[in-house]
Amino acid sequence: MLDTLRYRWNTLTQGQKIFIGGFGALVLIGLLTILGSGNTRYTNPAWLLATAAILLLALPVHEFAHAFTAVQLGDPTPRLQGRYTLNPLRHLDPIGALLIVLVGFGWAKPVQWNPRNIDIDRRWGAILVAAAGPASNLALAVLSLLLWRLLGETGFLAAFLLFFANINILLFVFNLIPIPPLDGSHILFALLPNNVQQVQFFLMQYGMLLMFVVILLAPGLITGPTTLIMSWLMGLLGG
């Protein structure tokens, strides 16, 4: 058994080994946090319901936004691959879903599209398709905060709406980080001039490692802007 596992490990690429190691460390940290946290969000029914809503609603909306934008620009690829839908089973990624439960942000299966099929400039198309997903999370957060403001700011429903809004803003910020495979990297690559392609090659090669470095060692790069945006939106709505 050990020999089989060792053989399979040796057949992995360096990037795959880095991903597995980083994900294992993240899971371990998440489990230790849960076990040592006592009465925290992991035992809060409002947070658990909000997390379920993220997995079953927000992530499918995020990926559908990518697919919808690509299709509207003339590319049928998302529709042909069955991604032009809000069905969560077509979009959920097990690892990304687990990360949302453990740390509050993660990902779904990326929507594939072909820039050669779109009707506008490919760079602008890439920016629009990439930005559509995070924009949907921000829109869901605003809608949630509007409902929180209209329906009452205390009680179970209010707590659910605030958790749902906060996680959506986390996803908005996280996905705009310009590191592959996140949406922000596609926006960055579309904006980079052709003579600095080495930057793109570097990020493509080490993107997964850099992403885990941010998640494990610098989560404030995500939670900091999230707190500012959340506070700004609540203030804007008079909360």
Residues identified as active-site: 63
Contacts of 239 (CB under 8 A, 6+ apart): 145, 148, 149, 153
Could you write out the DSSP letters of every residue in 21-50?
HHHHHHHHHHHHHHHHS-SSGGG-HHHHHH
Instruction: Please tell me the distance from the alpha carbon of residue 188 to that of residue 202, in angstroms, as a whole number.
Output: 13
Residue type, 57: L
143-to-161, 227, 233 alpha-carbon distances in Å: 9, 17, 11
Instruction: Please tell me the distance from the alpha carbon of residue 14 to that of residue 34, in angstroms, as a whole number.
Output: 30
| Nearest Cα to Cα of residue 137 among 104, 103, 179, 173 | 173
Half-sphere exposure of 71 (CA within 13 A, CB side): 17
Instruction: Please tell me the distance from the alpha carbon of residue 70 to that of residue 113, in angstroms, as a whole number.
Output: 7
